[in-house]
Chain A
Amino acid sequence: MTIFKRINGFWLSMVLAIVFFIVVQLLISRGILNSFYINTLFYMAINIILAVSLHLIIGITGQFSIGHAGFLAVGAYASAVMTMKLQMPFSLALLAGGVTAAVAGLLIGIPTLRLKGDYLAIATLGFGEIVRIILLNVDYVGGASGMTVTHLTTWPWVFACMLIAIIVIANFTNSTHGRACISIREDEIAADSMGINTTYYKVTAFVIGSFFAGIAGGLYAHNFYIIQPTNFGFLKSFDILIFVVLGGLGSMSGAVIAAILLTVVSTFLQEYPETRMIIYSIVLILVMLYRPKGLLGTQELTSFFRLRKAVEGGKQNDNKHTVA
């Protein structure tokens, strides 16, 4: 019974999403949207992927990771190497970016996820810096001057990847596996004593999160003509972290809304470069003052529309909120 309702909500939001996709696609092909707006739109979608992937790690599983730009970098460089050096098609390059980042997530996650809170944060921060320093020193990928990448990212690719990221993470969250992850966030000792293999779920969430960060990296690399290690410093990690915290820890729609909002704010503030960072910071401070639990707290946007209180981390029919 409830399953049918959910499927309906799911298909409804899918239809909305596809309508939005087609409208934008038409606007682009007719040349109505100029390249500035198109670029903002791409950037928004990439940020949404990054936000939801980190949301799974921090908001759902409660593992405070602040090295997400490291996975972004791994995905960006891996996919760029695939297209530029090995002449592989873009689809394969994106997948390779995701898989490489997922492998990196697995290798980093197994030893570091024993750590808790601040210690994990510092370890993941260290990982992000190590990735950057390695890329800086490998001549094969251009060292400090970076790699030139052809522009391959298109609206269908960006939109499809974003939709898949949202659906996969929402579906994962909204199952017994996602509940296991949330229970780890709520109380790891109790989760353990309820028969949940906490290490397994922490690593799984970490790997899924880094996979999508890698995909985002592939899209990012093929959108900007050039990638340099300096694009992936720890400030980039904090940008992603801010999406998740500002949206409300544990709320996927919150993370999506925050990603959209902040992308818009920072893009339009580019016209005022002197005051840009000041206004951006003021926005953050104001939101945190008036909504200390983030824009949506732990709620999902959909839960405002239903009588029954939704308490799980994410709902399937989130994707309609990406219609910005």
Chain B
Amino acid sequence: MTTNTPLLKADHVGIQFGGLKALSDVNIELYPGELIGLIGPNGAGKTTFFNLLTGVYEPTEGSIVLGNEKLNGLPPYKITRKGISRTFQNIRLFGELSVLDNVKVAYHSLARHSILSSIIRLPSHFSGEKEIEEKAIEFLKIFKLEGFMYEKAKNLPYGQQRRLEIARALAAHPKLLLLDEPAAGMNPQETKELMNLIAFIREKFNLTILLIEHDMSLVMGVCERIYVLDHGQLIAHGTPEEIRNHPKVIEAYLGEEVS
């Protein structure tokens, strides 16, 4: 674990929907290169927290800082360009687009050719498109998806769709990758492959990863530190070993012990 300045710092973050406090006083610090788990029972506010980090919602209290830039109030596309990208709990691929085009979309923000140059087909359009295409194909090769390149994304098998969604998120060149239940709906074999994939991309892209997961074997197996949310509040934080034996966590998951 590195101990320099945090890459991402959520400081007393909270959000209120009308009278409902979905999250309150969440403090999380992520250091460069870490792989951190975020767990908690259903409805604890994990995905809401992801939505705050990516700008889908704006926090009603506290601040979120990436590097030394405050992210509060920025629209999602700007936050992505600053270096946070994510996958979704229910896969959100561009179903009618090809696998290749899904990845190309992530490269869009790197494109320098203007709309006008595309409409009148200036040389900058062709060079720009070619660059995007080459990069996207190279990227698909890393993820061993190049065989499905021209397949519509919606026709891929479930496991490959997850893989593509992670590839697409990484193609946006994030510093911080947020994975929302990547193993949901996967069988043990697929989960194992996913664990290998996560370890691989982390090394390859020098990433910081925040992972929401229900599959305990995955969380305990790969994460260095774990935060636990329950009813919109952080109830525990520590190494997998500490979390496993933390009384509050056991209570949140199994209910209070009947003595």
Contacts and interface: CB of A to CB of B under 8 A. Distances in A.
Interface of A: 3, 168, 171-172, 174-180, 182-183, 185-187, 189-198, 204, 250, 298, 308-309, 311-312
A59 B168 CA distance: 24
Given A172-B115, A175-B129, A193-B85, A250 B96 contact: yes
Contact of B130 (A3, A172, A298): A3
A204 B56 contact: no
11 contacts: A176-B107, A176-B129, A177-B115, A180-B105, A186-B94, A192-B56, A193-B86, A195-B77, A195-B85, A196-B105, A198-B77
Contact of B98 (A177, A190, A311): A311
Contacts of B28: none
Contacts of A191: 94, 105
B171 to A, nearest CB: 8
A187 B126 CA distance: 27
Q: Which of A172, A179, A198, A309 has the most CB of B within 10 A?
A: A179
Interface of B: 54, 56, 75-77, 80-81, 85-86, 88, 92-98, 101, 104-109, 111, 113, 115, 118-121, 125-126, 128-130, 132, 150-152, 168-169, 172
A175 to B, nearest CB: 4
Nearest to A311: B98
B81 A195 contact: yes
Contacts of A193: 54, 56, 76-77, 80, 85-86, 88, 169
B108 A180 contact: yes
Contact of A171 (B76, B101, B118, B130): B118
Contacts of B151: 309
A93 B102 CA distance: 41
Task: Please classify the interface of chain A as helix (H, G, I), strand (E, B), loop, or mixed, using the class held by over half of its residues.
Answer: helix
A187 B77 contact: no
Contacts of B128: 176
B115 A204 contact: yes
A176 B80 contact: no
A189 B92 contact: yes
Nearest to B168: A194
Contacts of A204: 115
A195 B109 contact: yes
A179 B96 contact: no
A196 B132 CA distance: 15
B85 A194 contact: yes
